[in-house]
Structure 1
C-alpha cells in the first residue's frame, strides 16, 4: 500500500497536468464525454475540470485530510448518480486520501472523465486501489463491500439503502445523499456582478446538479428583467446544449395555456408562481412580501435543498441557520468546509 504522501504527490501531479485543456488524456476524455447521453457542452466541461483540478494542491489535500487515516484498508463502494460532469470526484479523492480500496460506479451521463484521471494516476502510483466501473445492479452490493458513499435521486438512494441493509451494513457505514437543489433569495438591488454570479448558479450545467439554483425568492415588487439580462449575457459565454430549447417547448406551451406569467431565452425558462422545483432549465420565480415568509419556507423544506444563495446583506437579514453562499459560488465549493456538502473523510476515517 502506498503512503499518504505518495498518494497526494500523484494526485497533485495529475491534477496539474489536467489543468491544461490540451492535455491529451483530458482532451480525449472530454471528447468522449460530449458524445455520451447528456446535455453538457465543451464550455461546461471546461468549467468543471478547471474548478476541480485547481483545488487539488498539496496544501489543500493535507488540510482536508487533517491527519485522519484508516486503521486498515477496506473496500468502499462509491455510487455516483448525480447528473454532474464530475459526479463522485470528492468521494474518489476522499477514498484515496484515507487509504481505502474504492469501487466507483459512474453515472451514464459522464462515464469517461474519472476513469481517464485514474488511469493516468496509475502511471505514477503503484497499486492504485480505486477501480472505476460503469452501471451496476442495485439488487445487491458487490462482494466484500464494507462501506458505501452514494448520491443520486431519492428512489435510487432508497434502493441503495435497501441493498446496504440486505448486506448487513450498519447505517453508520453508509452515507447516502438523495435529491437536493439550491435556492436563491434576492433582496433587490443586487449588483451586476451578483446577477451574473446567480446566472451561473442557475444555468451552468443545464439546470441539473445538487447545487444548481432551481427556485428564486424575490421581493414582490422586483422586476426580473435585470436578472433575465444577466441570463442572456451568461448564455453568450456558456451556450446551452442544442437540445435544451426543444426540451423547454412543452413547459412553455403549458404555461401559456394556463396563463402563467413566464419568460424565456436561449436555453432557459422562468415562470412566476408558488415555490416549487421545475424540470431542468426551468426556474421558478416566487415573490415574497417579507423575508420572514422565506425563512419559514426554508425551515419547512430544509431537507430538499443543499444551500441558499444570497448576497451578504440578504444573508445577514435572513433568519436561516443553514449554509448560505454568495452568488457565483454555488458551483465552486472548496474541498474543506464546503457549504451544503458532507465530509466523506469523516466516515471513511472511522471505519
Structure 2
C-alpha cells in the first residue's frame, strides 16, 4: 500500500478537500461535486445528520488532517515496514464520520482495513475512501467495505453499545481486539463558571443532538446549586427544538417524567433530571450533587470506565475545557485506549 510518506500525503490531500468544502459554493470540479453529493445523500438518509452537524464534522477533520499535525502525531510511534495484517473495523453511525479515526489509524500503521459500515452512515465513509484511492491509487484493494459476513481478518476494532459489545466479545473474542461499549461525558460545575463557559458547555451538550460519547450527558453540581445562570446561558441553543426528531424525543421523555411524577427542571428544549445514571436520553441531561470536589474526584476515578470526557476548569489533569469535547485531536483516543499502539502489536 505504499510507503508511510505516500499514506501521509493521501490524508493531507483529503484534509485539503475537507477544508475547501462548502455546501453552497458552485463548483465545476468533478471531485468536489462528487463529495458534495455524497454529503447531501448522507443528510437525506439520516435525519440526525443535519447540514450544521455535517459541516461541523467535516470542518473538524479538515483542521486535523494537515501535514504538520499528521507528522507530529504519527512521529511519536515507530512504524515498521512489514507485511500488513487485515483489521476489521466495525463502525458506529451515531454522528457523522465517527469511524474515520479508526480507519486512519489502521492505514497509517500499514495495515489493510476491512470496514463494516453502520446503517446510519453509509455515504460519508465510502466517499472518503474513494477520495483516498484517487489520491493514492496504491490504496485500492487495501480498504474493503464489507456488506456481508466478515472473513479473513486478523484483528478487530468494534464500536457499539453495551448490548452489542457482548455479541462482539462472543464472535471476536479469540482475535486481538478493541471492543468499545457505552461511554458518556460529564461536566463538573462549581458555580464559579462564567456565562461564556456555560454557553460553551451548550456546544458540548447539544452538538450532534447529544448523540456522541463525547457529548455531555451528566452534570455534577455542588449542593444548593442554582441552574438559573445555566439556563440563561443556554438560551442561544433554543432553535434545536425546531428539529423534529429532537423535539419528538424531548416531548416523549417529558411526558414520561410527568406521568411518572419524577421531579425535573425544564426550559422548553432541555430537561434537567436528578439521576445517578450517565446515559441520559435525548433532550435530557442528568445531574447529581456533590459535597466536595475531592470526594467527587474519587467517585469519577472509581467510575472512569463509564466516562469518555470530563469537562471542567481546574478540576483534574485530564479535563477538557468547556466547549471542546467535539474537537478531539488525532491523539485523543476513544476510551483512552491507544489505537495505534494496539495496531503496532497486532
CA distance in 1, matches of 2:40, 2:93: 20
Cα deviation 1:16-56 (Å, max 9, x = unaligned): 01222244233212211112244231101111110012100
2-side partners of 1:26 and 1:239: how far apart?
30
- The answer to which of 143-152 and 269-278 deviates more is 269-278
Cα gap change, 1:40 to 1:350, in 2 (>3 Å): same
Cα separation, 1, equivalents of 2:220 and 2:9: 44
Q: Distance in 2 between matches of 1:337 and 1:40?
A: 23
Residues 347, 233 of structure 1: CA spacing in aligned structure 2 closer, same or farther, 3 A cutoff?
same
Aligned residue runs from structure 1 range 287-298, under 5 A? 287-298=289-300
Q: C-alpha deviations, 1:64-97, integer Å up to 9, x for none?
A: 2224245211111001125121121111111111
Q: Which shows bigger deviation, 74-83 or 338-347? A: 338-347
1:190–1:26 Cα change, 3 Å:
farther
The answer on 1:72 being equivalent to 2:83 is yes
Aligned-residue CA RMSD (Å)? 2.1
Shift of 1:265: 2.9
Question: 1:244: how far off?
Answer: 1.1
1:336–1:299: structure 2 CA closer, same or farther, 3 Å change rule?
A: closer
With over 3 angstroms needed to count, the CA separation of the structure-2 counterparts of 1:219 and 1:89, relative to structure 1, is same
Three-state SS of the structure 2 residue aligned to 1:206 is helix
Equivalent pairs, count = 332
1:24 to 33, 40, 55: 33
Once the two structures are superposed, residues 184-227 of structure 1 have per-residue CA deviations (whole angstroms, 9 ceiling, x without a partner) of 11011211221122111111111111111110011222221222
Q: Contact (CA 8 Å) 1:104, 1:132: kept in 2 or not? A: yes
Q: Which of 91, 94, 97 is matched with 1:83 structurally?
A: 94
Could you say which residue in structure 2 is the equivalent of 1:110? 121
Q: Distance in 2 between matches of 1:265 and 1:30?
A: 31
Contact 2:35 2:127 in 1 (8 A): yes
Q: 1:61 aligns with which of 32, 54, 70?
A: 70
2:159 is the alignment partner of 1:151 = yes
Q: Displacement, 1:239?
A: 6.9
Distance 1:309 1:192 in 2: 15
5+ residue gaps, structure 1, are: none
Q: Aligned partners of 1:295, 1:41: CA distance in 2, in Å?
A: 36
Alignment counterpart, residue 49 of structure 1, candidates 48, 54, 58: 58
The answer to which structure has the higher helix fraction is 2
1:290: Cα distance to partner? 2.2
Structure 2 gaps of 5+ residues are 24-31
Which residue number in structure 2 is paired with residue 40 of structure 1? 49
Closer/same/farther in 2, CA of residues 50 and 240 from structure 1, 3 Å limit: farther
Selected match of 1:162 from 144, 149, 170:
170
1:125 to 125, 132, 136: 136
Change (3 A) 1:262 1:337: closer
Distance in 1 (CA, whole Å) between partners of 2:55 and 2:207 is 11
Find the aligned partners of 1:192 and 1:294 in 2 and give their Cα distance: 23
Deviations 1:242-264 (A, max 9, x none): 22111222221232231512213
1:235: Cα distance to partner?
A: 4.3
TM-score, structure 1 normalization: 0.87
Deviation at 1:337, TM superposition (A): 4.6
Cα separation, 2, equivalents of 1:80 and 1:339: 13
Residue pair 1:195, 1:327 contacting (<8 A) in 2 also: yes
- The answer on whether the counterparts of 1:80 and 1:104 sit within 8 Å (CA) in structure 2 is yes
Q: 2:183 aligns with which of 176, 180, 183?
A: 180
CA contact (8 A) 1:75 1:146 kept: yes
Q: Give the equivalent residue in structure 2 for 1:250.
A: 252
Contact between 1:201 and 1:211, CA under 8 Å: does it hold in 2? yes
